[in-house]
Amino acid sequence: MQWPNELPNFCTNGVLNGEAIFITEASLFHPVKAKPTERKICLLTAHSVFIPEGKSNHMSETTITFAGSGDTLGSGGRLQTCIHTDADSTQFLLDCGASSLPALKRHEIDLNAIDAILLTHLHGDHFGGIPFFVLDAQLVSKRTDPLIIAGPPGTEKRVRAAMDVMFPGLSEVNQEFEISYVELEDREETMVGSLRVTPYRVVHPSGAPPYALRVVVDDSSIAYSGDTEWTDALVDAARGTDVFICEAYFFDREVPYHISYDTLHSHYAELECDRTIITHMSEEMLSRLPDIELEHADDGKQITI
């Protein structure tokens, strides 16, 4: 959502193009975690929102559905990571854990409308659902549109190997749809279809570089930590985004390669994003949800940005 950074010089005495106007802070309409001096100013008339010259007056909405918000071990009965994003121009997944196919079907998401699957790292609870997704596309959904799978270097080799372990020969089937692979390099913005994707290397050994991802789609921006211990790369990934989705595996227990809620909370002031949602929680973390201040994901949770 775009707001003017300053009042236009043709606005005087509370009148804009013959209509009475009032001034308000954008944070009242689009929650922002920001200091008062960082808030944007917007102008509203009785009939419209002021849009700076050269900007579209169409403010697109992007809907994010946490089809799966769980960890590797299904803590709390949650399904593994699968975050579906529906924007005006495209639909895509952030990670595709092994339980993603039933998760997407449970929420009646049109599988054939998904143009891309973006992977943060190559652990089964984040990419193990792809063989099932592809098999369904072939046999049930009867997909014909291309599918892009993007992830760290080694993604194509690992995904094709996973297909053949689960369904021998699947990677060699002549599908009715094209599967293309995009391998992402640290901090290099890459076009994945209509998406602008920037990966940031984090700390989570998985046989290939692990990433947090920053995705720009239409007028919206999303950052997602993937799995990692705390690293300042998360600050860079989250900066200026509409929402930062971040793992919080334990409440206050520190383990390698994962973030605790306490650690994330201690860095919260550094995150220059509009909204933060925690996900990928252990049984211990789930038991402490009544004690936390930050917003958390649930299977089926849906937000609009």
First-to-last alpha carbon distance for the chain, in angstroms, is 8
Q: In terms of domains, do 186 and 223 share one?
A: yes
Which residue has better confidence, 272 or 53?
Answer: 272
> What's the CATH code of the domain at 248?
3.60.15.10
- In Å, how far are 48, 113, 215, 305 from 109, measured between CA atoms? 33, 8, 20, 18
| The predicted structure's pLDDT at residue 58 | 56
Q: Residue 79: name the closest of 100, 49, 50 by CA.
A: 100
Q: In terms of domains, do 132 and 208 share one?
A: yes
Q: In terms of domains, do 27 and 174 share one?
A: no
Residue 202 CA to residue 69 CA, distance in Å, equals 20
Percent of the chain predicted with pLDDT > 70: 81
Q: In terms of domains, do 182 and 249 share one?
A: yes
Q: In terms of domains, do 110 and 91 share one?
A: yes
Instruction: Quote the number of domains for the chain.
Output: 2
Mean pLDDT along residues 240-245:
98
Q: In terms of domains, do 11 and 150 share one?
A: no
Mean pLDDT of all residues belonging to the chain: 86
Q: In terms of domains, do 98 and 197 share one?
A: yes
Mean pLDDT along residues 128-152:
98
Q: Which pLDDT band holds residue 46 (cuts at 50, 70, 90)?
A: very low
Q: In terms of domains, do 252 and 133 share one?
A: yes
Mean pLDDT along residues 223-240:
98
Residue 268 CA to residue 274 CA, distance in Å, equals 12
Q: What pTM did the predictor assign?
A: 0.82
Burial 135-157 (b: 16+ CB within 10 A, else e): bbbbeeeebeeebbbbbbeebbe
pLDDT above 60 (res 18)? no
| The predicted structure's pLDDT at residue 57 | 52
Tokens 């929650």 -> residue: 31
pLDDT above 60 (res 166)? yes
| The predicted structure's pLDDT at residue 31 | 35
Q: In terms of domains, do 85 and 149 share one?
A: yes
Domain boundary among 16, 34, 59: 59
Domain boundary among 9, 33, 59: 59
Domain boundary among 11, 28, 59: 59
Q: In terms of domains, do 100 and 2 share one?
A: no
Q: Which domain holds residue 41?
A: 1-59
Q: Would you state the structure tokens that stand for residue 24, as one six-digit string? A: 């308000």
Percent of the chain predicted with pLDDT > 90: 80
Query: Please, what's the largest Cα pairwise distance for the chain?
Result: 73
Mean pLDDT along residues 224-241:
98
Mean pLDDT along residues 135-156:
98
| The predicted structure's pLDDT at residue 60 | 83
Q: In terms of domains, do 125 and 49 share one?
A: no
Q: In terms of domains, do 22 and 93 share one?
A: no
Q: Which pLDDT band holds residue 275 (cuts at 50, 70, 90)?
A: very high
Residue 304 CA to residue 66 CA, distance in Å, equals 12
Give the pLDDT confidence of 74-97 residue by residue, as tens digits: 999 999 999 999 999 999 999 999
Q: List 35's β-bridge partners, or say none.
A: none
